[in-house]
Amino acid sequence: MNFCDLTGKNILVTGASSGLGRATSVLVSKLNGRVCLIGRNEAALDETLSMMEGAGHIIISIDLCDYSRYDWLFGAVTAEFGMLHGLVHFAGVRKTLPVKVLKTESLKQMLEINLNAFLELVRYFTRKHVPDPEGAAIVAVSSVSALRGAPAMTGYACTKAALDGAVRSLACEMAPRKIRVNSIAPGHVETEMNVAVKNTLSVEAYNQIIQTHPLGTGQPTDVANLVAFLLSDEARWITGTTIFIDGGFMARS
């Protein structure tokens, strides 16, 4: 068997239409896993699918802030896949808002997709007969922003820190059912989320971001590699933790 082989595993990936979710879906398919690609933008989900290997993947286009559709969502996925082995929640938004303009409505929008959708997905994913009783893995996607401050990141940081808190208790609650729950905290990765940042910043300002990462900024495949490992049986003794993947960002004083 190959290291991190995902043969026979059915994995739900939210945010599969872009950036980190797309790279992870592609890698999972190369490791022989079957993926349910979730996002709102159907054309972009189709594009991800066209980059994948193997057969049997499915696309579900849904607004994850519409929690009333989760019953239908999990019904459709389990009807197609049977038991599930993994859930990765990449879908998220980041708003750069100094506290002066951080109105409750903006905070609510971030919380709904970054945190509430994750907890609601977990609630459905962990229902009886949904996860494989032999074992399953859940990965939340946090950020270095949960632990390192920066102006205008208060709201986003709250949503990501909340995810890290959630995975600890979820891990304890789910351990008897062999469901591992972890979060990953990426530093600056070059994805669509950051294209706007790159385009609007001066060269010096962008270089400053790069310099805060001793190994430079990351690529989506760097994050995908970690997530594939966490989904695999090789990570069977890892739960309730947050793994930083940040090119050394957190190591700096």
Partner 1 sequence: MEARFINMLCEVLERDLPIDFDDSLDELQEWDSLAALSLISMVDEEYGINIGSKDFENINTVGDIYKCIQTKLDHRQ
Ligand X SMILES: NC(=O)c1ccc[n+]([C@@H]2O[C@H](COP(=O)([O-])OP(=O)(O)OC[C@H]3O[C@@H](n4cnc5c(N)ncnc54)[C@H](OP(=O)(O)O)[C@@H]3O)[C@@H](O)[C@H]2O)c1
Near ligand X by CB under 6 A: residue from 92, 131, 155, 247 = 92
Does the annotation count 156 as an active-site position? yes
What is the Cβ-side half-sphere exposure of residue 210, based on CA atoms within 13 angstroms? 11
Residue 172 vs 201, nearer CB to partner 1: 201
Question: Which is catalytic among the residues 67, 70, 124, 156?
Answer: 156
CA 121 to CA 104: how far, in whole Å? 23
172 binds partner 1 (CB under 8 A): no
199 binds partner 1 (CB under 8 A): yes
| Angle, CA 165 vertex, CA 19 and CA 61 arms, to 5° | 35
The footprint of ligand X on residues 128-157 (CB under 6 A) is 141, 143
Closest by CA position to 125, among listed 169, 77, 65: 77
The pairing of beta strand 58-61 with beta strand 179-186: unpaired
CA 118 to CA 139: how far, in whole Å? 10
The footprint of partner 1 on residues 94-153 (CB under 8 A) is 95-98, 100-101, 106, 151-152
Cα 228 from chain centroid?
Answer: 11
238 binds ligand X (CB under 6 A): no
15 contact, one of partner 1, ligand X, none, CB 5-8 Å limit per kind? ligand X
Residue 32 vs 241, nearer CB to ligand X: 241
Residue 172 vs 205, nearer CB to partner 1: 205
**Which residue in the block uniquely carries the two structure tokens 């082995």?**
85
Residue numbers annotated as active site: 156
